[in-house]
Structure 1
Amino acid sequence: MPPKKSLRRAVIQPRRNICKTCNNLSPRDHASSVYLTERTKGALARLSLVLDAFELSRSRLPKEGGCRFCNVLCQALDALFGDWRGTRQRVNVDIKEKGTIKVGLDQEAWRGEVVSIYTTKRKSSRSWSTLGTARRIPLNSGSDDTFDFARRSIQDCLTNPKHGACILPRNSSASTPKRLLDVGRATAPIRLIDTQGRALEYAALSHCWGTGSPLKTTKANWRVLSHDIPFNSLPPLFQDAIVITRQMGLRYIWIDSLCIIQDSARDWETESFKMGSIYENAYFTISATASPDGASRALKDREKPVKLNFENLGGDELEIRARRVEDHHPSNKEDPATLVGPLTTRAWALQEHFLSTRILHYTKTELLFECRTSFRCECSPSRKSLPTTPALIPKATAKLNRDPKAVWDAWHRVVEQYSRRNLTHLNDKLPAISGIAGQIQKATSSRYIAGLWEANLAWDLLWSTTTTAADAQYFSPDKYRAPSFSWASLDTPVAFAPLDQEERLSVVSSITLVSSSVSVTGLNPLGTLSDASIHVRGPIMHATLLSTQRGGIWEYVLFLKGSSAITIQKDCLLVEDVIGGSSSGRAQTVRRAQCGDAPQDFKASVLCLCVARHDTWISGLVLGLARQDPDYWNRLGTFAAGSDVFQRAQEKELHVT
């Protein structure tokens, strides 16, 4: 029987003239080499190196006795990452036998981008036998080859029996967009139409608006746009989206700024609430991933590969090339493709990505296709049955009966990604994720409470902020948009503690929801709020919170009776406050700091609510009296402590807002 595949450290065989810096860009015979089989003969080897950019830039040229392979790295970095020399940063080199060599820099300016080094010949020279070839990528994203790739990807998804998850539900008037752009043929006028509830096949555009204002429909111009929209009056990105729609054989496209009347609050609330189903029911979504605004095209020239000078020991020149690629391939089979570009920083675009059934991602370097079943790209066009972003919610909801926690884990992953993205209008914090919330609610029938779920309340309450020490001096927003117990009340990345299967069985909720109140502004029941609160019963203890400053960073230490000092995970900067009007009714407390507040040393009373309990530890919320109403409490942060600390806790009811 053939040996089972496994990763194994190399048995190092001595070779002559091996560069100690780059190992001659070979994955073999290095202390860190790994092989994919038990045999060294014919084994697939891999090697990851971390080099110092400053030292690499000082390497001598081959004619001066320097390493020919280090010189290849320098040429590639000079051509594609021009400012790398003279810096003390890491150069990450990943080498795979018979594959391309990936070179990246640890610098924010090139985040997610790598240089790919490859040969154009199927059989490499003996002096570089481990270097592989790379598939040709068209030099324009509007080329015939790229459009053929898009058509094949979509057609395979539609006809492959394994793509049952990608079969769209029959359109209904409730999910059909109210308006679409009829782009017809190139000779026919483009116009805005009322669908009148008809089930039409259409594409949808996911894009950044940018700082400018794209062409948009208003109460004043919608009649004109319903008659004729000159092609040249459209922003370049919209023009490209129409070309793509026509090339894919469709007649209609949905573009938010044109298909929603932007100065009608009623129309915006009605149609934005349907946005989840609009993207889900689209024939495909055009994702302008690399476009920062409507003036930036999706169909454009791509950067050409560069030729690198390399001669073997016999003086023969090899055909070596390098090109910039966005490192979208997942590092393991558990993760979906990674995308880079301005669109991936926008909050509204996240649900467009999650909820679309099929997506064409127009990135800077190539076209990627994703559906609910598979992923493929121009550099690797074979269908891959890997996890995809559009599959996350459907897969989680499909497992609801046998693994109820899966859907809540999926929601937490969505919120974590969403909280790292940017919003132009901060009041859109809940509306911009309401499409995904609608899918979760449809599957679980759980009550939605300002970004949290009644059926998973304890775990949803235990989010924490994840800002670094350098970003730790942040404030609470001045304007209300969510209650303090909701992650949506802050503009900062958040995280939920992941629970493995064993922890899920041993961790139990310590709170009971007595009642909840949610007041919605507008027509979207999962959207903008004017007020929300929860009335819970659980173990509480009074404690003292002390502020302390270390290295310019404010920290907050909790003192519970019978316990040593506990540093809490703060939600934001905190300040001391006094609640009440008369001297007899005044109460000292702590609240979240707002812009203009000057943080100072304080020592004040707070309340600790135990939310979840394990055999040996508890997790809970730190609460301060609400300024608006002293009968209510506001969240300040989270804490964790040994379970013995709460043995003297009292069961009480309290309101948190």
Structure 2
Amino acid sequence: MDTSGSNVLSDDLCERCRNICFRSLFHGSGEHDDYFTKETKLGTLQEIWSETSCLFCQLVKYTLENHFKKNSVEVVLLKEAATAIFMYWGPLDEAHDDLKISTRDIPYYIDFGVYSLERSTKTDGSTIYSNPQVIALRDSDRMESNPSIHFGRTVNSGKVDWSMINDWLVSCSSTHIVNRPANSNHNSPHQEDQSKLRVIDVSKACIVTLPPKARYIALSYVWGKDQALKLKKNNETSLSTAGCFDRKEFHPSRTIIDAIQVVRHLGYLYLWVDALCIVQDDSENKQANIERMGQIYNEALLTIVAAAGTHADHGLPGVSPECQRSPRQKTVTIQGITMANRFYSNINSTYWNKRGWTYQERILSPRILAFTPSHITYNCDEGCDHDEQFYAAYDGARFTPFYNASKLDFESNNIFDVYAFAVSEYTKRSINDPMDKIKAFKGALELLQKPFKGPFFFGLPVSMFDVGLLWIPVGPCSRGNTSFPSWSWAGWEGAVAYDYIEADTLTNLCECTVSQCSIKTSDTDIDLCYSSMPRTHDDTLIKDQNWTRHFDLETCEIYYRASEEELQSYRYPRPLSAIGREASHHLSKDLGQILQIRGRVAKFHLTRQHSGASSIASSCRSGHNGQCNLAILDSKNRTVGRVLIDARTLPELQNREHRFLALSRSTLYSNDEDISWEEDSKTFRSWVGAPASDEDGLHKVEYEEYHRPFARRIADSSSEIGDGDSVLPEPAAKMDRASIFRKDYNGPQENRGPFDARYFSNKVFWPLFNVLLLSEEKNGVVERCGIGQIHVDAFRANDKEEKVLLG
């Protein structure tokens, strides 16, 4: 750790830094204008790097090297030495707008914007660019008149301050009553089996059975590779002998050893770790523990998160000498202000947060103590937010941006949005064993089962099964483990989502999706959904089941509330039918995966032509590992819709006729832009009695090809192509021109539908069928190859009712 004395001489600063008033940098009013308007050019990257004696430049250099990595900075230095570095300001407290403290004089950080260097992280679908930051530290022994101004803390690189962590837990306990189960209303079917839970007794250094009503701490970590010591049938007696873990031949993985030390330092007795508390070669014991994994983490007093390293032998940084912290804090004192680099590392950007099993461990744990490579953080469900590099100067301070994926947010979103977001976040993560795809998500599904009032079948909600089938790939997505059905996201490898266009939201997705087929389980003939008509605001189902309908003017969202007491706290995107409740008594893990579907099937062509509704309207390179948004063509080669497929399957699908199954019918838009929208009642009209479309197509004067803008779009498309959208250069004449038209010669108008609006009208109520692209039959069973949308008039022109066995 590099520290300096109190006030520095002017010779210790370069000429640029001598003009900075450091005392004024680290506090302000918190008003947006106060920090957005602050900007100071510190110098060029070359100028900063050439300084050898300026204390502040040395701190800036150290901060940039640790944030961007030294090699990245040096590459920019060699290529773009004139790159400028700017200083900006902002409140340390992410919740500063909600401050209830008496003063508005709050602590600030300063960060450094470097034009040629950017670091980003993904949180809930958005890219957040982060700049390296410097904070001001406060002397813990000195009481200031306003201790909140500089509440940065010196982090000891050699060891953890256990008294600090105990203070966090005491504060949380006194505020949120930590000493009771996390969810007192959590009625687990396995609650009576808690006495059978194995734990590590850290005082005896062995495996024991958890005593009745005893509290325990859980460990969430990454195995990375197989562990040398695991609980098995042949070593259960040895591992249950007092002192066994202190013997060399029974040493667990480094991370587990460190976690045992953490539990001891915090004054608790019991630690739950999967490798040593589940009999790994006992399938019955393993399955029983997986079944109650949600309960294990939800009822833990605390979850220790090993957010450093990529395997179980990495350890918890700072707990023992074998696992050192990195990077370290560099401090300098200038004009009486002690400054240090801010540690960037947090659990959102770690390898741990990319693993499938850790997702449910995170969302189900009420309290998390995370050991990152550089420092420790603590968060609880009730709003506690502690960071080792900051003093908690006042209640309610938050040091990290809110990460939506950390919890299931029922307060702000309807239940299907919560489910869809959880699936999207979970499928981004990696699972070593494809057979664990559902197991590692089971705890989350159990939490969702109560508001959905029904079970989940291969990961899809039975009470909204028609919408659950509409998941789409958001990148390369290939057929994975065939032990899971093709109609479930669990049967595919790759990230999925429920918004058809990535920028869209899920607003009213359920409200404007109506099943057009009946679906049963083939083994037991259980109904999962059936063909129906769109509901209206005075639907009998709503009246009979005491649902109240609401409309959010700000978001244009339709949602429902239930009178049933246990459902009153949830928003519903549609009233629940009785199907889910009936199916819950019959569905089981032993049921087969084949669906028996009675619905409409039609045949259409696929070529290499991409949909005009896609941002890239051309062909993918052969073998490119991305996704294709292909145009679906009728017998006259008109674009009738689009289908999303994995690009690797394009060679076997192109230039052939394929069968498409109509799953459900939907509107073109999900809000008041749609012609099906009834403004007075704030609902969607039924398609019965809707005006008929022009069978001969629309008048060419109204909609005609607008060649120049489309050609220009193709020419400019190369600059917009992402990694998943490589294209082949082809003449514009071969491209689909269904995406852009000129209306009444008043300028270009984009066709926002997936179909060619010259031939298929968007002035049709509910103009789209959500369709599945079906594979060739094998033993009478077909699989899902892709999902898309087709205009209802085109589909009805050559469809017929069929029975489909979908596996």
For 1:31-51, what per-residue CA distance to the aligned partner results, in whole angstroms no more than 9, with x for missing partners? xxx99659xxxx632269899
Cα deviation for residue 551 of structure 1 reads 4.3
Cα deviation for residue 619 of structure 1 reads 5.3
Q: Which residue of 2 aligns with 1:100?
A: 109
Uncovered stretches (5+) of structure 2, i.e. residues with no partner: 1-14, 92-106, 123-127, 140-148, 319-323, 525-585, 610-618, 668-675, 677-761
Q: Which residue of 2 aligns with 1:44?
A: 34
**Which amino acid in 2 is paired with 1:634?**
E
Q: Which residue of 1 aligns with 2:633?
A: 559
Structure 1 residues 407 and 237: CA distance shift in structure 2, 3 A:
same
**Which amino acid in 2 is paired with 1:638?**
I
Q: Which residue of 1 aligns with 2:658?
A: 605
Q: In 1, are the aligned partners of 2:769 and 2:789 still within 8 Å (CA)?
A: yes
**Which amino acid in 1 is paired with 2:784?**
R
Q: Which residue of 1 aligns with 2:788?
A: 639
**Which amino acid in 2 is paired with 1:227?**
T
Matched, 1:306 2:330: yes
Q: In 1, are the aligned partners of 2:474 and 2:497 still within 8 Å (CA)?
A: yes
Correspondence for 1:440 among 448, 458, 467: 448
Cα deviation for residue 574 of structure 1 reads 1.6
Structure 1 residues 142 and 460: CA distance shift in structure 2, 3 A:
same
**Which amino acid in 2 is paired with 1:412?**
A
Q: In 2, are the aligned partners of 1:482 and 1:531 still within 8 Å (CA)?
A: no
Matched, 1:57 2:45: yes
Farther-moved stretch of structure 1 (616-625 vs 243-252): 616-625
Matched, 1:574 2:588: no
Q: Which residue of 1 aligns with 2:375?
A: 366
Matched, 1:263 2:250: no
Matched, 1:515 2:528: no
Matched, 1:325 2:331: no
**Which amino acid in 2 is paired with 1:545?**
L
User: Partners of 1:655 and 1:294 in 2: how far apart?
Assistant: 44
Correspondence for 2:70 among 64, 82, 88: 82
Farther-moved stretch of structure 1 (457-466 vs 608-617): 608-617
For 1:410-436, what per-residue CA distance to the aligned partner results, in whole angstroms no more than 9, with x for missing partners? 111111111111112121111111111
**Which amino acid in 1 is paired with 2:605?**
T
Q: Which residue of 2 aligns with 1:221?
A: 235
User: Partners of 1:202 and 1:295 in 2: how far apart?
Assistant: 22
Q: Which residue of 2 aligns with 1:629?
A: 779
Q: Find the residue that maps to 1:573 and give its secondary structure.
A: helix
**Which amino acid in 2 is paired with 1:574?**
T
Q: Find the residue that maps to 2:603 and give its secondary structure.
A: strand
Structure 1 residues 68 and 247: CA distance shift in structure 2, 3 A:
closer
Q: Find the residue that maps to 1:181 and give its secondary structure.
A: strand
Matched, 1:194 2:209: yes
Q: In 2, are the aligned partners of 1:534 and 1:655 still within 8 Å (CA)?
A: yes
Structure 1 residues 383 and 260: CA distance shift in structure 2, 3 A:
farther
TM-score by length of 1: 0.72
Q: Which residue of 2 aligns with 1:481?
A: 483
For 1:145-167, what per-residue CA distance to the aligned partner results, in whole angstroms no more than 9, with x for missing partners? 44324423542454389x99754
1:497-512, aligned counterparts within 5 Å?
Answer: 497=499, 503-504=508-509, 507-512=512-517
Q: Find the residue that maps to 1:532 and give its secondary structure.
A: coil
For 1:121-145, what per-residue CA distance to the aligned partner results, in whole angstroms no more than 9, with x for missing partners? 79xxxxxxxx966333443563234
1:120-139, aligned counterparts within 5 Å?
Answer: 120=137, 134-139=152-157
User: Partners of 1:570 and 1:605 in 2: how far apart?
Assistant: 13
Pairwise CA RMSD of aligned residues?
A: 4.5
**Which amino acid in 2 is paired with 1:193?**
V
Q: Find the residue that maps to 1:230 and give its secondary structure.
A: helix
User: Partners of 1:177 and 1:370 in 2: how far apart?
Assistant: 28
Structure 1 residues 309 and 203: CA distance shift in structure 2, 3 A:
closer
Farther-moved stretch of structure 1 (618-627 vs 91-100): 91-100
Correspondence for 2:470 among 455, 462, 468: 462
Farther-moved stretch of structure 1 (70-79 vs 383-392): 383-392
**Which amino acid in 1 is paired with 2:246?**
F
Q: In 2, are the aligned partners of 1:517 and 1:534 still within 8 Å (CA)?
A: yes
Q: Which residue of 2 aligns with 1:230?
A: 245
Q: Find the residue that maps to 2:36 and give its secondary structure.
A: strand
**Which amino acid in 2 is paired with 1:231?**
D
Farther-moved stretch of structure 1 (535-544 vs 266-275): 535-544
Cα deviation for residue 256 of structure 1 reads 0.5
Q: Find the residue that maps to 1:369 and give its secondary structure.
A: strand
Q: Which residue of 2 aligns with 1:492?
A: 494
User: Partners of 2:39 and 2:665 in 1: how far apart?
Assistant: 43
Matched, 1:277 2:295: yes
Q: In 1, are the aligned partners of 2:378 and 2:386 still within 8 Å (CA)?
A: yes
Cα deviation for residue 75 of structure 1 reads 4.8
Q: In 2, are the aligned partners of 1:207 and 1:291 still within 8 Å (CA)?
A: no
Structure 1 residues 413 and 175: CA distance shift in structure 2, 3 A:
farther
User: Partners of 1:645 and 1:204 in 2: how far apart?
Assistant: 56
Structure 1 residues 169 and 246: CA distance shift in structure 2, 3 A:
farther
Q: In 2, are the aligned partners of 1:48 and 1:92 still within 8 Å (CA)?
A: no
Structure 1 residues 339 and 529: CA distance shift in structure 2, 3 A:
farther
User: Partners of 1:176 and 1:164 in 2: how far apart?
Assistant: 12
User: Partners of 2:121 and 2:519 in 1: how far apart?
Assistant: 50
User: Partners of 2:426 and 2:452 in 1: how far apart?
Assistant: 21
User: Partners of 2:587 and 2:441 in 1: how far apart?
Assistant: 9
Cα deviation for residue 231 of structure 1 reads 2.6
Cα deviation for residue 475 of structure 1 reads 4.1
Q: In 2, are the aligned partners of 1:511 and 1:536 still within 8 Å (CA)?
A: no
Structure 1 residues 236 and 654: CA distance shift in structure 2, 3 A:
same
For 1:491-527, what per-residue CA distance to the aligned partner results, in whole angstroms no more than 9, with x for missing partners? 11111118768635751323344312579xxxxx999
Q: In 2, are the aligned partners of 1:420 and 1:492 still within 8 Å (CA)?
A: yes
User: Partners of 1:371 and 1:526 in 2: how far apart?
Assistant: 35
Number of matched residues? Answer: 558
For 1:369-406, what per-residue CA distance to the aligned partner results, in whole angstroms no more than 9, with x for missing partners? 2222214022454554986769834x52xx7xxx9x72
User: Partners of 2:177 and 2:35 in 1: how far apart?
Assistant: 37
Q: In 1, are the aligned partners of 2:297 and 2:361 still within 8 Å (CA)?
A: yes
Structure 1 residues 252 and 540: CA distance shift in structure 2, 3 A:
same
TM-score by length of 2: 0.60
Uncovered stretches (5+) of structure 1, i.e. residues with no partner: 1-17, 29-33, 123-130, 311-315, 329-337, 520-524, 578-589, 591-600
Q: Which residue of 1 aligns with 2:620?
A: 550
Q: Which residue of 1 aligns with 2:354?
A: 345
Correspondence for 2:161 among 143, 147, 155: 143
Q: In 1, are the aligned partners of 2:308 and 2:317 still within 8 Å (CA)?
A: no
Structure 1 residues 68 and 222: CA distance shift in structure 2, 3 A:
closer
1:377-416, aligned counterparts within 5 Å?
Answer: 377-378=386-387, 379-380=389-390, 381=392, 383-384=395-396, 392-393=407-408, 396=410, 406-416=414-424
Cα deviation for residue 60 of structure 1 reads 6.4
User: Partners of 2:183 and 2:405 in 1: how far apart?
Assistant: 10
Q: Which residue of 2 aligns with 1:15?
A: none
Q: Which residue of 2 aligns with 1:536?
A: 597
User: Partners of 2:41 and 2:484 in 1: how far apart?
Assistant: 47
User: Partners of 1:419 and 1:454 in 2: how far apart?
Assistant: 20
User: Partners of 1:112 and 1:518 in 2: how far apart?
Assistant: 51
User: Partners of 2:175 and 2:406 in 1: how far apart?
Assistant: 13
